[in-house]
Structure 1
Amino acid sequence: MTAFMNNYIRIIDGFNYRIGRFAMYLIFVMIGVLLYSSFTKTFARPSLWTLEMAQFVMVAYYMLGGPYSLQLGSNVRMDLIYGTWSPRGKAWVDSFTVLFLIYYLVVLLIGGFNSTLYAFEYAERSYSAWRPYMWPIKSIMIVGIVMMLLQAVSELFKDIRTIREGRQDVV
Structure 2
Amino acid sequence: MYEVKPKSPIDYISLAISRVGLALVAVIVAIMFYEVVMRYFFERPTLWVNEMSLWIGGFIYLLSGLYVLQQRGHIRITLLYDSVPRNVQRLFDVISTICIVIFGAMVIHGGMNEAVQKYGRWETFGTAWDPPIPATMKPAIIIVAALIMCQAVANLIADWNETPVPEGVVEDDVIQELRGSYTETVADRHD
Alignment of 1:92-107 (within 5 A): 92-107=91-106
Distance 2:137 2:60 in 1: 11
Residues 32-58 of structure 1 deviation map (CA, whole Å, 9 limit, x = unaligned): 122222222212321121112111111
Structure 1 residue 72 and structure 2 residue 71: aligned?
A: yes
- Residues of 2 paired with 1:33 and 1:78: CA distance? 39
Write the mapping of 1:1-171 to structure 2, written as runs, cut at 5 A.
Answer: 10-43=8-41, 44-133=43-132, 134-159=134-159, 161-162=160-161
Q: What displacement does 1:26 show?
A: 1.6
- Summarize deviations over 1:70-126 as a string: whole Å, max 9, x none: 111111223232233344432220211221111111111223322221112333111
Contact 1:59 1:141 in 2 (8 A): no
Give the TM-score, by structure 2 length. 0.71
Higher relative contact order, structure no. (Cα contacts within 8 Å, ≥ 6 residues apart):
1
Higher alpha-carbon deviation: 125-134 or 95-104: 125-134
The TM-score with structure 1 as length reference comes to 0.78
For 1:23 and 1:158, locate their aligned partners in 2 and report how far apart those are by CA, in whole Å.
Answer: 24
* Residue ranges of structure 2 left out of the alignment (5+ in a row): 1-6, 165-191
CA RMSD of aligned residues (A): 2.2
Give the aligned residue type for 1:34.
Answer: M
Asked if the contact 1:112–1:138 (Cα under 8 Å) also holds between the matched residues in 2, the reply is yes
The one-letter code of the counterpart of 1:49 is W
Structure 2 Cα separation of the partners of residues 76 and 167 of structure 1: 18
Q: Which amino acid aligns with 2:139?
A: S
One-letter amino acid of the structure 2 residue matched with residue 26 of structure 1: L
> Does the residue aligned with 1:84 lie in a helix, a strand or coil?
coil
Number of equivalences: 156
Cα distance in 2 for residues equivalent to 1:65 and 1:155: 16
Amino acid paired to 1:27 = V
Between the aligned partners of 2:154 and 2:55, the Cα distance in structure 1 is: 28
The percent of aligned pairs where both chains have the same amino acid is 24
Larger Rg: 2
